[in-house]
Amino acid sequence: MRHFHFVLLLILALGNTLFANNDKFFVKPQSSWVENITYNDKNATGSIDTEDGAIYYLSDYQSNVITLEKYYRSVIKIVNEVGIKNYADIWVSYDPNYQELNFHSIKIHRGGKVYNRLEKSKFKIIQNESELENNIFNGSFSAGYFIEDVQVGDIIEYSYAIVGENPIFKGNYFDFFYLQFSTPVKKIHCSVRFSKDSKVNYKLFNTLQQPLRAEKDGLVVLKWESENVQELITNSQQPSWYSPYPKVQISSFNSWTDLIKWGEKLYPPDGLKGGKLKKQFDAIISKCNTPESKINALIQFVKDEIRYVGIEISEYSHKPRRPEEVFQKRFGDCKEKSYMLSSMLKKIGVESYVAYVNTNLKHRIVEYLPSPTIFNHAIVAIKYREKFYFVDPTITGQKGDFTNFFNGNYKQALIVDPKFTEPILISDSGDERVVVKEIIEVIDSVKPVQYTVHSTYYGSEADRIRNQFKSNTKKQLENSYLNFYSTNYSKMRFRDSLVLEDDPELNCVKVTEKYDIESFWKKDSSTNNRIAYLDAPNLKSYLTSPEQRNRKHPFYLYYPIEVENEITFKHAEDFNIDEVNKQINNPCFSFKYIISKVNSTTITFKYNYKSLKDYVDTTEMNKYFNDYDEIRNETYYTFTWRKNSTQTSKTNWMFIILTVFFVTILLFIANALYQKDISKPYINNPLPIGGWLVLIAIGLFITPITLLFDFVKNGFFNQTSWEFISTPTSAGYDVVWSFAFVYELLMNCLMMVYIIFILVLFIKRRTTFPIHFIIFRLIHFVLIIGDVILVSKITNSNFIADNSSVSPVVSSIVASCIWIPYMIYSERVKDTFVFKHKRNIDLEQSKNDVQSIS
């Protein structure tokens, strides 16, 4: 929608002139001055290694300074289907406002035959929109041709010429062409033709190949020609100013002074006359009392009231519109906003100029020949109290004083004024700093971890955050912030809304974030403990992560920036940590980190990172990568929360009620069983408890005590212990462990009641003791097996291979194998446990009495 509004604005502003020259496209023979370059395809086969599915036989570029014509010819062999996709479509850009596009040929060589595919009616002419995202419209078009019936093995050949140059250059000539590409080429030919009395300068970059100089048809010809040129493989993440490709620059300017003289004419000194702009100017100045306040007010007006839109058609690619016209439309591009601002500043007696910069080449522009084409941006140079300050009027939302504005880190600028003879250095901007204070608070094992972040941004970072909040909805911002932390914490939600505090005078912005983290703790399957990883994502977002380490080319860094990151970790329990105070010194950055213990439950991690330059040279790679890895490691810390950690005691009344209920049922069952007897002959002189039964007696008396100890140790009635393993947000949450907890509780109740019941039978020497003892041993064995299986399920271990699991199972088997046969076959057992319940004795006596009477 935003692009639609912008295009509609352009249509309304330009009217019918927008498409007036889109017919500057022709199909015609090539000019007579063009040299026909031959190429050799005899040794080319489809087996040649290529990543884009094609082989370049010829790349031909010829330029004629006199006729303002640039000729291009390409010959490409299609090796596979990828080559068809990449090369069967032809696209050529041109500006119909001052250029015409002449297509000469489109051919397919196949099986010794040549097929002509050039048909003007099949071309598609479309308006370029590549810079609309940046609110720039340059009036250029692209001619597209989709070659039909392209097959693997075909050789595609096409040629065209672009005639005309931007009239703003006043007949001066500038050019760039490359002598190597990212794909192999069997033959590269580049040449420039100009008159003998013309002064044309050239400069070589990344090559020592000098041109062949010749004269033809009264013109001087400079020619570069190479065969079997291999592809140049580059690395990712290179600095914007770095280009390893061999290339040639051409310029008719002899010095920077010549370029300044050309540019000076584009900016008349009387930029601010009468009219509405002058009235606006007077209104702004009338509210200010000091020179500094006037400068700041004028800067803020141009920055924020004149929006950035560039209609850079034809001569307006470099020539600004008058400030009055820009003010009436309330929009302008970089040179127009800079011209307006410098004119207004001059009106209050401040020395100011329009200055050219290159946002990519930065400090490398001085290495190039003077040319308007090596600059892509305009800013304002302000000389105040014998010091230069550089202001970019296209950066909106900047607050504070102009002396501390972020200037884009452009490094070098060419001031468009005869006082200057070459580009001058731009000192680094002011306070480019970020201060982040994080607090991670573990309340207990159940509640979500509270995460609070206070971030203070200065300089350009404040500008960035300020614009971020202005250009996004609250929902978009929250999603963006949550996504930022999603790698570290998957289950995270806002505890409170984002808060933005803006201090315009200091140009600093403070953002407060408050979160609840439900997934802070992760399960360690090897130990069954819970672990948490403490990272420093806010710090690491400013570190440049290398995608390629085996490099031949420089590596860019985020510059300038200083990051202070303090992380306070508050645990619910005491823990120990080794304190650290260390510094890493690198040619590209400095890094300090301090780990200190505040008290038994709180520690702080303090990090300070400062970039020292914007790239890593190839000679510095190994040290940089080693130090970078050390930073990554030192800012990554692991915490462990054990299952048996002490917890604040809270009574679990639900389990108490459950236990009472279950034990009551067991007691009813035990009472019923207690009244049962086994019929056996009466023995006049039963044996007392003795022999091996003494060992059983000892075991029966010790077992209840052991069970009671385990009951207390397991904390069945501790509410916190139960919540620790049963609450989904808890650090110890585990469904299987929760089931095992309830299982252990009920089984302990069962065993406790049953063993006491058996102990009473033993003391009373009841006839039912042996059978209940046998049942107890069997139940005990089954419960141990169940317990071992649950534990192995929780810990993901093999209980057969685990000695701690096998030992109780083996002990139970051995004990059962000894005592169960003893209860069945021992004569002493038969002669000892002979007594019955009194009620049963009374019933038997009654029956005997009845039988006697009868």
CATH number of the domain bearing residue 556: 2.60.120.1130
3-state secondary structure of 585: strand
From start to end of 230-376, where are the E strands? 247-251, 307-308, 310-311, 331-332, 351-357
Closest-CA residue to 68 (of 192, 168, 223, 218):
192
Tens digits of residue pLDDT in 754-809 = 888 888 888 888 888 888 888 888 888 888 887 777 766 665 555 454 555 577 77
- The Cα 623–Cα 586 span in angstroms is 7
State whether 559 and 636 are in the same domain: yes
CB 64 within 8 A of CB 32: no
β-strands 580-585, 449-458: how paired?
unpaired
Where residue 367 sits, what CATH number does that domain have? 3.10.620.30
Instruction: Identify the sign of the CA torsion 397, 403, 405, 407.
Output: positive
Instruction: Identify the sign of the CA torsion 64, 250, 338, 135.
Output: positive
Of 607, 641, 675, the residue at which a domain comes to its end is: 641
State whether 88 and 233 are in the same domain: yes
- The Cα 277–Cα 229 span in angstroms is 58
Residue 282 counted as domain residue: yes
Residue type present at position 552: K
- 632: which 2 tokens? 């990554």
Structural domain that includes position 411? 260-425
- The Cα 2–Cα 307 span in angstroms is 14
Q: CB atoms < 10 A from the CB of 281, how many?
A: 21
- The Cα 186–Cα 184 span in angstroms is 7
What are the helix (H) ranges across 207-333?
A: 256-264, 276-286, 291-305, 323-329
- The Cα 664–Cα 656 span in angstroms is 12
Residue 851 counted as domain residue: no
State whether 438 and 512 are in the same domain: yes
CB 177 within 8 A of CB 59: no
CB 56 within 8 A of CB 74: yes
Residue 848 counted as domain residue: no
111: left (phi over 0), alpha (psi -120 to 50) or beta: left
Residue 778 counted as domain residue: yes
Total count of domains within the chain = 4
State whether 214 and 238 are in the same domain: yes
Specify the pLDDT at position 650: 65
355 burial level (CB within 10 Å; 0-12, 13-18, 19+): buried
Specify the pLDDT at position 185: 94
CB 220 within 8 A of CB 196: yes
Specify the pLDDT at position 571: 86
β-strands 331-332, 307-308: how paired?
parallel
3-state secondary structure of 37: coil
CB 392 within 8 A of CB 379: yes
Specify the pLDDT at position 675: 82
CB 96 within 8 A of CB 143: no
State whether 266 and 228 are in the same domain: no
Residues of the chain falling short of pLDDT 70 = 1-22, 43-49, 130-134, 445-446, 524-528, 642-650, 681-684, 711-734, 737, 791-805, 838-854
Residue type present at position 769: F
State whether 621 and 701 are in the same domain: no
Specify the pLDDT at position 134: 66
- The Cα 213–Cα 718 span in angstroms is 95
Residue 647 counted as domain residue: no
Residue 788: which H helix or E strand, with range? helix 769-795
- The Cα 785–Cα 789 span in angstroms is 6
State whether 235 and 264 are in the same domain: no
Specify the pLDDT at position 122: 95
State whether 412 and 368 are in the same domain: yes
248 burial level (CB within 10 Å; 0-12, 13-18, 19+): buried
- The Cα 425–Cα 414 span in angstroms is 9
Closest-CA residue to 264 (of 372, 400, 405, 184):
372
- The Cα 239–Cα 736 span in angstroms is 54
State whether 748 and 782 are in the same domain: yes
Specify the pLDDT at position 732: 55
Residue 646 counted as domain residue: no
Of 425, 454, 488, the residue at which a domain comes to its end is: 425
Residue type present at position 125: I
- The Cα 388–Cα 415 span in angstroms is 11
Specify the pLDDT at position 385: 93
State whether 633 and 668 are in the same domain: no
Q: CB atoms < 10 A from the CB of 826, how many?
A: 16
State whether 40 and 179 are in the same domain: yes
Q: Cα Rg for the chain, rounded, in angstroms?
A: 44
Specify the pLDDT at position 798: 54
Give the Å distances, CA to CA, from 288 to 7, 295, 298, 642: 38, 9, 10, 65
Residue 402 counted as domain residue: yes
- 519: which 2 tokens? 């997934």
- The Cα 404–Cα 430 span in angstroms is 5
CB 605 within 8 A of CB 582: no
Specify the pLDDT at position 727: 67
Closest-CA residue to 554 (of 836, 237, 320):
237
Tens digits of residue pLDDT in 437-453 = 999 998 876 678 899 99
- 583: which 2 tokens? 């510094």
CB 745 within 8 A of CB 655: yes
Of 366, 397, 425, the residue at which a domain comes to its end is: 425
Closest-CA residue to 248 (of 224, 215, 230, 232):
224
Residue 362 counted as domain residue: yes
State whether 689 and 804 are in the same domain: yes
